[in-house]
Amino acid sequence: MTRLLGIETSCDETAAAIVSDGARIESNVIASQTDLHARYGGVMPEQASRAHLRAIQPVVEQALTDARVDWSDIDAIAVTHGPGLAGALLVGVNVAKGIAFALSKPLLGINHLEGHVYANWLTPGEPRFPLVALIVSGGHSDLVLADGHGAYQRLGRTRDDAAGEAFDKVARLLGLGFPGGPLIEREAANGDPARFALPRAWLDGESFDFSFSGLKTAVRNQVAALGVDPDTASPKERRERLPVADLAASFQQAVVDVLSAKIVRAAETYGAINVALAGGVAANRTLLRTVEDRAQRPILCPPPRLCTDNAAMIAAAAYFRYTAGQRNDLSLDVEPGLPIA
Ligand code: KG4
Ligand code: ZN
Protein backbone atom coordinates (compact mmCIF):
# COMPACT_ATOMS: atom_id res chain seq x y z
CA MET A 1 0.00 0.00 0.00
CA THR A 2 1.18 3.51 -0.81
CA ARG A 3 0.12 6.21 1.62
CA LEU A 4 0.57 9.86 0.65
CA LEU A 5 0.19 13.06 2.63
CA GLY A 6 -1.29 15.82 0.47
CA ILE A 7 -1.02 19.53 1.29
CA GLU A 8 -3.02 22.29 -0.42
CA THR A 9 -2.74 26.04 0.19
CA SER A 10 -3.21 27.58 -3.27
CA CYS A 11 -6.11 29.89 -2.43
CA ASP A 12 -8.24 30.25 0.68
CA GLU A 13 -8.42 26.74 2.12
CA THR A 14 -5.62 25.31 4.25
CA ALA A 15 -5.93 21.57 3.67
CA ALA A 16 -4.11 18.33 4.42
CA ALA A 17 -5.20 14.78 3.68
CA ILE A 18 -3.97 11.24 3.73
CA VAL A 19 -4.93 9.01 0.82
CA SER A 20 -3.88 5.43 0.21
CA ASP A 21 -3.33 4.03 -3.29
CA GLY A 22 -4.67 7.18 -4.89
CA ALA A 23 -8.27 6.29 -4.13
CA ARG A 24 -9.00 5.70 -0.44
CA ILE A 25 -9.36 8.77 1.79
CA GLU A 26 -8.00 8.12 5.28
CA SER A 27 -8.39 11.74 6.36
CA ASN A 28 -9.34 15.01 4.72
CA VAL A 29 -8.93 18.15 6.82
CA ILE A 30 -9.94 21.58 5.48
CA ALA A 31 -9.61 24.86 7.38
CA SER A 32 -11.61 27.37 5.38
CA GLN A 33 -10.91 31.11 5.42
CA THR A 34 -14.32 31.92 3.95
CA ASP A 35 -15.40 34.04 6.91
CA LEU A 36 -12.20 36.06 6.75
CA HIS A 37 -12.65 36.91 3.05
CA ALA A 38 -16.45 37.22 3.07
CA ARG A 39 -16.09 40.67 4.66
CA TYR A 40 -14.33 41.87 1.50
CA GLY A 41 -16.46 39.91 -0.96
CA GLY A 42 -13.39 38.13 -2.33
CA VAL A 43 -10.06 36.54 -1.42
CA MET A 44 -7.47 38.97 -0.03
CA PRO A 45 -4.03 37.52 -0.92
CA GLU A 46 -1.96 38.82 2.04
CA GLN A 47 -4.59 37.82 4.55
CA ALA A 48 -4.77 34.39 2.93
CA SER A 49 -1.02 33.80 3.40
CA ARG A 50 -1.15 34.78 7.05
CA ALA A 51 -4.17 32.58 7.70
CA HIS A 52 -2.38 29.64 6.01
CA LEU A 53 0.63 30.20 8.26
CA ARG A 54 -1.53 30.03 11.35
CA ALA A 55 -3.51 26.99 10.24
CA ILE A 56 -1.05 24.76 8.43
CA GLN A 57 0.61 22.96 11.33
CA PRO A 58 -2.59 22.04 13.21
CA VAL A 59 -4.24 21.01 9.93
CA VAL A 60 -1.40 18.65 9.01
CA GLU A 61 -1.34 17.18 12.52
CA GLN A 62 -5.10 16.69 12.41
CA ALA A 63 -4.79 14.82 9.12
CA LEU A 64 -2.40 12.33 10.77
CA THR A 65 -4.58 12.02 13.86
CA ASP A 66 -7.79 11.46 11.88
CA ALA A 67 -6.09 8.78 9.79
CA ARG A 68 -4.62 7.21 12.96
CA VAL A 69 -1.19 7.08 11.39
CA ASP A 70 2.26 8.15 12.38
CA TRP A 71 4.86 10.03 10.32
CA SER A 72 6.63 6.74 9.66
CA ASP A 73 3.50 5.41 7.89
CA ILE A 74 3.68 8.11 5.19
CA ASP A 75 5.45 7.16 1.94
CA ALA A 76 5.71 10.63 0.38
CA ILE A 77 4.62 14.27 0.71
CA ALA A 78 2.62 15.84 -2.15
CA VAL A 79 1.97 19.56 -2.33
CA THR A 80 0.22 21.97 -4.69
CA HIS A 81 2.89 24.20 -6.23
CA GLY A 82 0.64 26.02 -8.74
CA PRO A 83 -1.44 27.58 -10.07
CA GLY A 84 -2.64 29.87 -7.31
CA LEU A 85 -1.71 32.84 -5.16
CA ALA A 86 2.10 33.05 -4.82
CA GLY A 87 2.16 33.86 -1.10
CA ALA A 88 -0.44 31.20 -0.31
CA LEU A 89 1.36 28.51 -2.33
CA LEU A 90 4.65 29.38 -0.61
CA VAL A 91 3.28 28.33 2.78
CA GLY A 92 2.30 24.85 1.63
CA VAL A 93 5.38 24.26 -0.50
CA ASN A 94 7.79 25.25 2.26
CA VAL A 95 6.02 23.20 4.90
CA ALA A 96 6.05 20.19 2.54
CA LYS A 97 9.74 20.68 1.84
CA GLY A 98 10.48 20.92 5.55
CA ILE A 99 8.59 17.70 6.31
CA ALA A 100 10.18 15.85 3.38
CA PHE A 101 13.66 16.97 4.44
CA ALA A 102 13.18 16.23 8.13
CA LEU A 103 11.77 12.75 7.47
CA SER A 104 13.90 11.93 4.40
CA LYS A 105 10.73 11.19 2.42
CA PRO A 106 10.07 11.87 -1.27
CA LEU A 107 8.53 15.22 -2.24
CA LEU A 108 6.15 15.72 -5.17
CA GLY A 109 4.92 19.04 -6.57
CA ILE A 110 1.37 18.75 -7.94
CA ASN A 111 -0.65 20.93 -10.30
CA HIS A 112 -3.79 22.19 -8.54
CA LEU A 113 -5.91 21.77 -11.70
CA GLU A 114 -4.76 18.18 -12.15
CA GLY A 115 -5.73 17.70 -8.52
CA HIS A 116 -9.28 18.85 -9.24
CA VAL A 117 -9.58 16.26 -12.03
CA TYR A 118 -8.27 13.50 -9.72
CA ALA A 119 -11.00 14.19 -7.18
CA ASN A 120 -12.87 11.88 -9.56
CA TRP A 121 -10.56 8.99 -8.55
CA LEU A 122 -11.75 9.33 -4.95
CA THR A 123 -15.27 8.15 -5.78
CA PRO A 124 -16.34 4.57 -6.62
CA GLY A 125 -15.57 3.32 -10.12
CA GLU A 126 -12.26 4.05 -11.81
CA PRO A 127 -12.37 6.73 -14.55
CA ARG A 128 -11.37 5.57 -18.02
CA PHE A 129 -9.38 7.30 -20.77
CA PRO A 130 -9.79 9.09 -23.08
CA LEU A 131 -11.50 11.43 -20.74
CA VAL A 132 -12.76 14.95 -21.29
CA ALA A 133 -12.68 17.07 -18.14
CA LEU A 134 -14.20 20.45 -17.44
CA ILE A 135 -12.31 22.25 -14.68
CA VAL A 136 -14.42 25.15 -13.46
CA SER A 137 -13.35 27.02 -10.35
CA GLY A 138 -12.89 30.50 -8.98
CA GLY A 139 -9.74 31.01 -11.03
CA HIS A 140 -10.12 28.68 -14.01
CA SER A 141 -12.41 27.42 -16.71
CA ASP A 142 -10.48 24.83 -18.70
CA LEU A 143 -11.73 22.11 -21.01
CA VAL A 144 -9.13 19.34 -21.10
CA LEU A 145 -8.63 16.07 -22.99
CA ALA A 146 -6.76 13.41 -21.00
CA ASP A 147 -5.45 10.41 -22.97
CA GLY A 148 -3.82 8.90 -19.88
CA HIS A 149 -2.37 9.83 -16.51
CA GLY A 150 -0.52 13.11 -16.92
CA ALA A 151 -1.20 13.26 -20.70
CA TYR A 152 -3.32 16.37 -21.13
CA GLN A 153 -4.25 18.63 -23.97
CA ARG A 154 -6.08 21.84 -23.22
CA LEU A 155 -8.97 22.17 -25.66
CA GLY A 156 -10.35 25.45 -24.36
CA ARG A 157 -10.06 28.04 -21.61
CA THR A 158 -11.79 31.19 -20.53
CA ARG A 159 -10.87 34.34 -22.37
CA ASP A 160 -11.88 36.57 -19.45
CA ASP A 161 -13.61 35.69 -16.16
CA ALA A 162 -13.56 32.16 -14.77
CA ALA A 163 -16.98 30.52 -14.30
CA GLY A 164 -16.73 30.64 -10.49
CA GLU A 165 -15.60 34.26 -10.66
CA ALA A 166 -18.75 35.06 -12.66
CA PHE A 167 -20.88 33.35 -9.98
CA ASP A 168 -19.10 35.38 -7.29
CA LYS A 169 -19.46 38.71 -9.13
CA VAL A 170 -23.13 38.16 -9.97
CA ALA A 171 -23.82 37.15 -6.37
CA ARG A 172 -22.41 40.51 -5.30
CA LEU A 173 -24.63 42.31 -7.85
CA LEU A 174 -27.64 40.54 -6.34
CA GLY A 175 -26.67 41.39 -2.77
CA LEU A 176 -25.77 37.80 -1.86
CA GLY A 177 -22.65 36.84 0.10
CA PHE A 178 -19.32 35.18 -0.73
CA PRO A 179 -18.55 32.67 -2.15
CA GLY A 180 -21.38 33.31 -4.57
CA GLY A 181 -21.78 29.93 -6.28
CA PRO A 182 -23.69 28.05 -3.58
CA LEU A 183 -25.85 31.12 -2.82
CA ILE A 184 -26.79 31.62 -6.47
CA GLU A 185 -27.62 27.92 -6.74
CA ARG A 186 -29.86 28.11 -3.67
CA GLU A 187 -31.72 31.20 -4.94
CA ALA A 188 -32.01 29.75 -8.45
CA ALA A 189 -33.85 26.70 -7.11
CA ASN A 190 -36.90 28.95 -6.58
CA GLY A 191 -36.48 31.09 -9.70
CA ASP A 192 -37.59 31.09 -13.32
CA PRO A 193 -34.56 30.51 -15.60
CA ALA A 194 -36.50 31.84 -18.61
CA ARG A 195 -37.58 35.15 -17.08
CA PHE A 196 -34.53 37.15 -18.23
CA ALA A 197 -33.00 36.55 -21.67
CA LEU A 198 -29.28 36.70 -20.90
CA PRO A 199 -26.56 36.20 -23.54
CA ARG A 200 -24.69 32.93 -24.16
CA ALA A 201 -21.16 33.48 -25.48
CA TRP A 202 -20.69 30.59 -27.93
CA LEU A 203 -17.70 32.38 -29.53
CA ASP A 204 -16.67 31.19 -33.00
CA GLY A 205 -18.44 27.97 -33.96
CA GLU A 206 -15.64 25.46 -33.38
CA SER A 207 -14.07 27.07 -30.32
CA PHE A 208 -13.96 25.32 -26.96
CA ASP A 209 -13.07 28.61 -25.25
CA PHE A 210 -15.40 30.37 -22.83
CA SER A 211 -16.24 33.97 -22.04
CA PHE A 212 -18.33 35.08 -19.08
CA SER A 213 -17.67 38.79 -18.73
CA GLY A 214 -20.42 39.76 -21.23
CA LEU A 215 -22.93 37.73 -19.24
CA LYS A 216 -21.87 39.45 -16.02
CA THR A 217 -22.28 42.86 -17.70
CA ALA A 218 -25.74 41.84 -18.97
CA VAL A 219 -26.81 40.99 -15.40
CA ARG A 220 -25.44 44.33 -14.28
CA ASN A 221 -27.43 46.16 -16.97
CA GLN A 222 -30.54 44.21 -15.99
CA VAL A 223 -30.07 45.24 -12.35
CA ALA A 224 -29.87 48.90 -13.46
CA ALA A 225 -32.93 48.48 -15.70
CA LEU A 226 -34.84 47.21 -12.67
CA GLY A 227 -34.11 50.50 -10.94
CA VAL A 228 -31.27 49.47 -8.62
CA ASP A 229 -27.90 51.23 -8.88
CA PRO A 230 -25.36 48.41 -9.52
CA ASP A 231 -22.52 50.50 -8.00
CA THR A 232 -23.99 52.04 -4.89
CA ALA A 233 -27.00 50.00 -3.68
CA SER A 234 -26.53 48.21 -0.37
CA PRO A 235 -26.77 44.39 -0.34
CA LYS A 236 -30.03 44.64 1.61
CA GLU A 237 -31.56 47.04 -0.92
CA ARG A 238 -30.58 44.69 -3.77
CA ARG A 239 -32.15 41.68 -2.07
CA GLU A 240 -35.35 43.57 -1.31
CA ARG A 241 -35.88 45.34 -4.62
CA LEU A 242 -34.60 42.80 -7.17
CA PRO A 243 -36.28 39.56 -8.30
CA VAL A 244 -33.18 37.77 -7.00
CA ALA A 245 -34.37 34.19 -7.55
CA ASP A 246 -35.32 34.80 -11.21
CA LEU A 247 -32.09 36.69 -11.92
CA ALA A 248 -30.03 33.96 -10.25
CA ALA A 249 -31.85 31.21 -12.16
CA SER A 250 -31.53 33.03 -15.50
CA PHE A 251 -27.82 33.65 -14.92
CA GLN A 252 -27.12 30.09 -13.80
CA GLN A 253 -28.97 28.70 -16.82
CA ALA A 254 -26.87 30.82 -19.19
CA VAL A 255 -23.63 29.51 -17.64
CA VAL A 256 -24.84 25.91 -17.55
CA ASP A 257 -26.05 26.00 -21.19
CA VAL A 258 -22.62 27.02 -22.47
CA LEU A 259 -20.56 24.75 -20.21
CA SER A 260 -22.72 21.69 -20.89
CA ALA A 261 -22.90 22.24 -24.66
CA LYS A 262 -19.13 22.61 -24.98
CA ILE A 263 -18.22 19.63 -22.83
CA VAL A 264 -20.69 17.41 -24.70
CA ARG A 265 -19.34 18.53 -28.09
CA ALA A 266 -15.76 17.95 -26.90
CA ALA A 267 -16.65 14.45 -25.68
CA GLU A 268 -18.19 13.62 -29.08
CA THR A 269 -15.34 15.17 -31.05
CA TYR A 270 -12.64 13.25 -29.16
CA GLY A 271 -14.53 10.01 -28.54
CA ALA A 272 -14.26 10.32 -24.77
CA ILE A 273 -15.27 7.27 -22.75
CA ASN A 274 -15.77 9.36 -19.63
CA VAL A 275 -16.73 12.96 -19.03
CA ALA A 276 -15.51 14.42 -15.75
CA LEU A 277 -16.54 17.59 -13.97
CA ALA A 278 -14.11 19.19 -11.55
CA GLY A 279 -13.52 22.33 -9.51
CA GLY A 280 -15.76 24.34 -7.22
CA VAL A 281 -18.42 25.09 -9.84
CA ALA A 282 -18.83 21.33 -10.40
CA ALA A 283 -20.55 21.35 -7.00
CA ASN A 284 -23.48 22.92 -8.88
CA ARG A 285 -26.14 20.22 -9.21
CA THR A 286 -27.94 21.96 -12.11
CA LEU A 287 -24.70 21.76 -14.09
CA LEU A 288 -24.32 18.05 -13.30
CA ARG A 289 -27.93 17.21 -14.13
CA THR A 290 -27.78 19.13 -17.42
CA VAL A 291 -24.54 17.45 -18.53
CA GLU A 292 -26.04 14.07 -17.55
CA ASP A 293 -29.09 14.80 -19.69
CA ARG A 294 -27.14 15.93 -22.73
CA ALA A 295 -24.10 13.63 -22.85
CA GLN A 296 -24.71 10.05 -23.85
CA ARG A 297 -21.93 8.58 -21.73
CA PRO A 298 -21.10 8.18 -18.03
CA ILE A 299 -20.52 11.47 -16.23
CA LEU A 300 -18.13 11.62 -13.32
CA CYS A 301 -18.52 14.31 -10.72
CA PRO A 302 -17.13 14.27 -7.19
CA PRO A 303 -19.45 14.99 -4.26
CA PRO A 304 -19.55 18.77 -3.57
CA ARG A 305 -17.03 18.66 -0.69
CA LEU A 306 -14.45 17.10 -3.05
CA CYS A 307 -15.25 19.56 -5.88
CA THR A 308 -14.07 22.58 -3.91
CA ASP A 309 -10.44 22.90 -2.81
CA ASN A 310 -9.11 20.03 -0.69
CA ALA A 311 -5.89 18.10 -0.23
CA ALA A 312 -7.27 14.60 -0.85
CA MET A 313 -7.42 15.43 -4.56
CA ILE A 314 -3.76 16.49 -4.45
CA ALA A 315 -2.73 13.20 -2.85
CA ALA A 316 -4.87 11.30 -5.40
CA ALA A 317 -3.16 13.01 -8.33
CA ALA A 318 0.23 12.48 -6.69
CA TYR A 319 -0.27 8.72 -6.44
CA PHE A 320 -0.06 8.23 -10.19
CA ARG A 321 2.97 10.48 -10.41
CA TYR A 322 4.61 8.71 -7.46
CA THR A 323 4.18 5.28 -9.06
CA ALA A 324 5.47 6.71 -12.37
CA GLY A 325 8.64 7.80 -10.53
CA GLN A 326 8.18 11.56 -10.15
CA ARG A 327 10.32 12.98 -7.35
CA ASN A 328 11.03 16.67 -6.75
CA ASP A 329 14.02 17.98 -4.86
CA LEU A 330 14.16 20.89 -2.46
CA SER A 331 14.47 23.36 -5.32
CA LEU A 332 10.73 22.85 -5.97
CA ASP A 333 9.26 26.34 -6.34
CA VAL A 334 5.79 27.84 -6.52
CA GLU A 335 4.42 28.44 -10.03
CA PRO A 336 1.45 30.83 -9.67
CA GLY A 337 0.60 30.69 -13.40
CA LEU A 338 1.17 26.96 -13.99
CA PRO A 339 -1.15 25.72 -16.76
CA ILE A 340 -2.52 22.16 -16.86
CA ALA A 341 -0.98 21.35 -20.24
O1 KG4 B 1 -12.19 25.02 -6.73
P2 KG4 B 1 -12.54 26.10 -5.76
O3 KG4 B 1 -12.93 25.70 -4.37
O4 KG4 B 1 -11.38 27.13 -5.60
C5 KG4 B 1 -10.59 27.54 -6.69
O6 KG4 B 1 -9.65 26.80 -7.06
O7 KG4 B 1 -10.95 28.61 -7.24
O8 KG4 B 1 -13.72 26.94 -6.45
C9 KG4 B 1 -14.33 28.01 -5.81
C10 KG4 B 1 -15.38 28.58 -6.74
C11 KG4 B 1 -16.01 29.86 -6.22
O12 KG4 B 1 -16.00 30.83 -7.26
C13 KG4 B 1 -17.43 29.43 -5.87
O14 KG4 B 1 -18.38 30.47 -6.01
C15 KG4 B 1 -17.68 28.30 -6.85
O16 KG4 B 1 -16.45 27.63 -6.93
N17 KG4 B 1 -18.73 27.39 -6.39
C18 KG4 B 1 -19.90 27.19 -7.04
C19 KG4 B 1 -20.66 26.31 -6.23
N20 KG4 B 1 -19.92 25.98 -5.13
C21 KG4 B 1 -18.75 26.65 -5.24
N22 KG4 B 1 -20.36 27.68 -8.20
C23 KG4 B 1 -21.60 27.32 -8.59
N24 KG4 B 1 -22.41 26.49 -7.87
C25 KG4 B 1 -21.98 25.96 -6.69
N26 KG4 B 1 -22.77 25.16 -5.98
ZN1 ZN C 1 -9.42 24.94 -6.90
Report d(CA 215, CA 248) in Å as an integer: 12
Indicate the CATH number for domain 128-301: 3.30.420.40
Domains 3-120+306-323 and 128-301 share a fold: yes
Report d(CA 167, CA 158) in Å as an integer: 14
Mean pLDDT of 165-193: 97
Ligand 1 atom 23: residue of nearest CA: 181
Ligand 1 atom 8: residue of nearest CA: 280
pLDDT at 296: 82
pLDDT at 34: 84
| 193-203 pLDDT tens trace | 999 999 999 99
**3-120+306-323: which CATH topology?**
Nucleotidyltransferase; domain 5 (3.30.420)
| 37-68 pLDDT tens trace | 888 878 888 899 999 999 999 999 999 999 99
Evaluate: CB of 8 within 6 angstroms of ligand 1.
no
Q: Which sequence spans correspond to the domains of the chain?
A: 3-120+306-323, 128-301
pLDDT at 162: 96
CB 184 within 8 A of CB 252: yes
In which element (H, E) is residue 16 found? strand 13-20
Evaluate: CB of 42 within 6 angstroms of ligand 1.
no
Query: pTM for the full model?
Result: 0.95
Ligand 1 atom 10: residue of nearest CA: 138
| 253-305 pLDDT tens trace | 999 999 999 999 999 999 999 999 999 999 999 999 999 999 988 899 999 99
Question: DSSP secondary-structure letter at 156?
Answer: E
What mean pLDDT, rounded, does the chain reach? 96
CA angle 147, 165, 295 (to 5 degrees): 40
Report d(CA 13, CA 55) in Å as an integer: 9
Name the percent of the chain lying above pLDDT 90.
Answer: 92
CB 120 within 8 A of CB 316: no
Which of 137, 138, 145 is closest to 116 using CA atoms?
137
Taking CA atoms, 99 is separated from 7, 63, 93, 309, in Å, by 11, 14, 10, 22
